[in-house]
Chains A and B, each alone.
Chain A
Amino acid sequence: MVKLVANNLEMKFGERHIFSVDRLQLSQGQTIHLQGDNGCGKTTLMKLLAGLISPSRGAITAEGFEPLPWWRSNALLGKAVYLHQHPYLFDGSVEYNLSYPHPFCSMTKQQLSERTQTAIEMAELTHLKNQAASSLSGGEKQRLAIARAWIMQPKLLMLDEPTSNMDRFSQDLVLTMISDLQQLGTGMLISSHQSCMLTSLCNQTWIIENQHIMSPYTADSAPINLQEPRYVIAN
Chain B
Amino acid sequence: MNEGWLALLQQALGLLFSLDPDVWSIVSVSFSVSFAALGITLLPSMILGFLLAFGRFPGRWFVTNLIQTLQSIPTVVIGLLVYLMLTRMGPLGDLRWLFTQKGMILGQMMICAPVLIAMSQAAFTSVDRRAWETSRTLGASWLRAIWTVCRELKVPLLMAIVAGFSRILTEVGCSMMVGGNIADVTRNIPTAIALETSKGDFAQAIALGLVLLILSLVLNFTLGTLRGKAEPRSH
Contacts and interface: CB of A to CB of B under 8 A. Distances in A.
Contacts of B148: 90
A78 B139 contact: yes
Nearest to A135: B231
Interface stretch (B33-41, B71-79, B129-137, B212-220): B129-137
A78 B142 CA distance: 12
Contacts of B137: 50-52, 77-78, 80-82
Interface residues of A, number: 30
Classify the secondary structure of B's interface with A: helix
Most buried by A among B128, B136, B230: B136
A149 B139 CA distance: 11
Given A84-B134, A88-B133, A91-B152, A104 B128 contact: no
Classify the secondary structure of A's interface with B: loop
Contacts of B140: 78, 104
A228 to B, nearest CB: 25
A78 B128 contact: no
Interface of B: 128, 130-131, 133-141, 144, 148, 151-152, 154, 230-233, 235
Contacts of B154: 91
A86 B233 CA distance: 12
A104 B151 CA distance: 18
A71 B143 CA distance: 11
A163 to B, nearest CB: 15
A90 B152 contact: yes
Contacts of A103: 144
B131 A77 contact: no
Nearest to B152: A91
B134 A87 contact: yes
Contact of B134 (A80, A88, A91, A138): A88
Nearest to B145: A77
28 contacts: A50-B137, A51-B137, A52-B133, A52-B136, A77-B136, A78-B137, A78-B138, A81-B137, A82-B133, A86-B235, A88-B128, A88-B130, A88-B131, A88-B133, A90-B134, A90-B135, A90-B148, A90-B152, A91-B152, A100-B138, A101-B138, A101-B139, A104-B138, A132-B231, A134-B231, A134-B233, A149-B138, A152-B139
